[in-house]
Chain A
Amino acid sequence: EAGVTQFPSHSVIEKGQTVTLRCDPISGHDNLYWYRRVMGKEIKFLLHFVKESKQDESGMPNNRFLAERTGGTYSTLKVQPAELEDSGVYFCASSQGTGYTGELFFGEGSRLTVL
């Protein structure tokens, strides 16, 4: 069974440009999460989808970030325009819809570098 996959693994862009990160969760997982780790800090929650609906987006830093999950399958996270402080590793995670065990399945992350 394929795990959570994220694309791209690394993106280098100039300040002011746009970047779109993609996450494919484990098939059948209704819950999809975005987290990020900026340099030297803890991994922080960004938002949570249940199927195609945003359940909790309290961690989104500002309106330059837009997450979508059309059709309840893969998700995209767009940063527009990117700023220097957006550099970090963006993790996606998924979990099944019922019988929560605490286990989130994380992807390997997309490293974003904004110059």
Chain B
Amino acid sequence: EDKVVQSPLSLVVHEGDTVTLNCSYEVTNFRSLLWYKQEKKAPTFLFMLTSSGIEKKSGRLSSILDKKELFSILNITATQTGDSAVYLCAVEEYGGTSYGKLTFGQGTILTVHP
């Protein structure tokens, strides 16, 4: 069965710290890996990664994929209290012309204290 494992499951840091969230996966026909942020209720999209070694960046957040070792990391630098959320990693497999069938990990709960 396809599997996505995130670590750590929870993390508590102080403002200004840098954090690294991990996601490893085992899927049969990998298409992409996605990161979502869930602050209160609705997950919101952060990144989609399809190629190894190419960093995606948005402000203080960045992510990279290693398709040989089957993992991805999400880095957040200079954390702020607004970064407190559940960070979800998901993997998508090839499904012909169909998109959007994601296999999610358990999520990492990040808490940033002032």
Flag whether A88 is at the interface (Cβ < 8 A): no
The answer to whether the Cβ of B88 comes within 8 Å of any Cβ in the partner chain is yes
Interface positions of A from 56 to 94, Cβ below 8 Å from B: 56, 58-59, 91, 93
Is B95 interfacial (CB 8 A cutoff)? yes
* Cβ–Cβ < 8 Å partners of A42 in chain B: 4, 103-107
Give the residue among B36, B42, B47 with the most A Cβ atoms within 10 A: B42
Q: Which residues from B are CB-within-8-Å of A11?
A: none
Query: Is A22 in the interface zone, CB < 8 Å from B?
Result: no
Contact size class for B? Answer: 20 to 34
Residues of B with C-beta under 8 A to A7 = none
The verdict on B44 contacting chain A, using a C-beta distance below 8 Å, is: yes
Of B88, B98, B100, the most chain A CB neighbours within 10 A belong to B100
Given contacts A42-B106, A102-B32, A102-B92, contact A33 B100 (CB under 8 A): yes
Q: CB-CB < 8 A to A43: which residues of B?
A: 43, 88, 90, 102, 104
Are A103 and B45 in contact, CB atoms less than 8 angstroms apart? Answer: yes
CB distance from A105 to the nearest CB of B (A): 8
Chain B residues lying within 8 Å of A31, measured Cβ to Cβ, are: 99-100
Contact call A102/B98, Cβ cutoff below 8 A: no
Are the C-beta atoms of B48 and A103 separated by less than 8 Å?
yes
Binding site for B on A (CB under 8 A): 3-4, 31, 33, 35, 41-45, 48, 50, 55-56, 58-59, 91, 93, 95, 100-109
Listed in ascending order, the chain B residues whose CB lies under 8 Å from chain A are: 4, 32, 34, 36, 40-45, 47-48, 88, 90, 92, 95, 98-107
A42-B103, A43-B88, A100-B99 are known; give 10 further A-B pairs, CB within 8 A. A3-B42, A42-B105, A43-B104, A48-B101, A50-B98, A91-B43, A102-B32, A103-B45, A103-B48, A109-B42
A-B contact pairs, 7 of them (CB 8 A): A31-B99, A41-B106, A42-B107, A48-B100, A100-B100, A102-B92, A104-B102
